[in-house]
């Protein structure tokens, strides 16, 4: 099963960029890298996903290493609302479902 | 567009009681699944379905049953509640497989306490 490794926690100040790293050294060639986040007392919500190329959307950017063994979620200007647990996720080959680890808890300070 | 709707939001059960957590989606998604989340942990897959009439077990299926009689609904049944099933339960749906990069939509969660 493909697995991911993320730091347990990170801190940022408001208005600053945040780079959330993820290692996924066992990723297969066809697996998408998914990022979700979970705000307090809510269900996870989609942030971004990508396969090989860097991706941008209104929420964030995803930078994928050339060998695809790591990726970085970039929040360009952190806000207090971005305080959440961020999950970097790969698909489980057996169930075709996303395997959530413990994620990175991002704290944002005013 | 309501998305994924879970009921109830909060429930307290006594050990041995049974109950059903309801989940409905209005996005015509084929794929639906149930996760549980224990304090400080990530989500673990309980059961999933790739279409009406088709269900399969996930990582932690013991003590739970599911059925998928319609595309919209995917109820989760606790057969005989145990304190170890105290958790937050999330229902999720997606248009298709995450293999193709499909986005998963989650409900707001159901907080279950078994005493």
Instruction: Say how far apart CA A100 and CA A1 lie, in whole Å.
Output: 12
Cβ count within 10 A of residue B6: 22
The predicted pLDDT at position B16 comes to 97
* Residue stretches of chain A with pLDDT short of 70: 1-2, 93-95
Quote the pLDDT of residue A43.
Answer: 93
Interface test with chain A among B36, B39, B43, B93, by most A beta carbons within 10 Å: B43
Could you give the CA distance from residue B17 to residue A20 in angstroms, rounded to a whole number?
43
- CB spacing of B42 vs A87 below 8 angstroms: yes
Q: Is the pLDDT of residue B72 over 80?
A: yes
Contact B56/A at CB under 8 A: yes
Which residues of A are less than 8 Å from B32 in CB distance?
Answer: none
Q: In what order do the strands lie in the sheet with A18-23?
A: A18-23, A70-75, A61-64, A55-56
For chain B, say whether A105 makes contact (Cβ under 8 Å). no
Token pair in block for residue B97: 């497989």
**Residues B94-105: pLDDT tens digits?**
988 776 778 899
Neighbour count for residue B84 (Cβ, 10 Å): 10
* pLDDT 10s digits, B9-68: 999 999 999 999 999 999 999 999 999 999 878 899 999 999 999 999 998 999 999 999
What tokens appear for A30 in the block? 């066809």
Distance separating alpha carbons of residues A39 and B105, to the nearest angstrom: 14
Cβ(B21)–Cβ(B76) under 8 Å?
A: yes
Q: Residue B49: what are its φ and ψ, rounded to 5°?
A: -145, 135
Q: Dihedral of the CA atoms B74, B75, B81, B82 (nearest 10)?
A: 20
The pLDDT of residue A93 is 67
Name the A residues in 54-83 with CB < 8 Å from any B CB.
none
Q: Which pLDDT value is given to residue A14?
A: 97
């Amino acid at each position: 099963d493909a697995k991911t490794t993320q730091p347990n926690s990170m801190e940022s100040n408001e208005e600053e960029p945040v780079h959330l790293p993820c290692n996924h050294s066992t990723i297969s060639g066809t697996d998408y890298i998914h990022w979700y986040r979970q705000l307090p007392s809510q269900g996870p919500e989609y942030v971004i996903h990508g396969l090989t190329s860097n991706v941008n959307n209104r929420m964030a950017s995803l930078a994928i290493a050339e060998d695809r063994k790591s990726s970085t979620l970039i929040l360009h200007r952190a806000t207090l609302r971005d305080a959440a647990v961020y999950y970097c996720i790969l698909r489980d080959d057996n169930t075709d479902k996303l395997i959530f680890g413990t994620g990175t808890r991002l704290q944002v300070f005013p | 567009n309501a998305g994924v709707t879970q009921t109830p939001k909060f429930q307290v059960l006594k050990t041995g009681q049974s109950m059903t957590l309801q989940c409905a989606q209005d996005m015509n998604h084929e794929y639906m699944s149930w996760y549980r989340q224990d304090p400080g942990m990530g989500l673990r897959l309980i059961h999933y379905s790739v279409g009406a009439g088709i269900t399969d077990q996930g990582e932690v299926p013991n003590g739970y049953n599911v059925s998928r009689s319609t595309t919209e609904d995917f109820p989760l049944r606790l057969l005989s509640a145990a304190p170890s099933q105290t958790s937050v339960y999330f229902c999720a749906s997606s248009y298709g497989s995450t293999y193709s990069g499909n986005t998963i939509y989650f409900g707001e969660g159901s907080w279950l306490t078994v005493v």
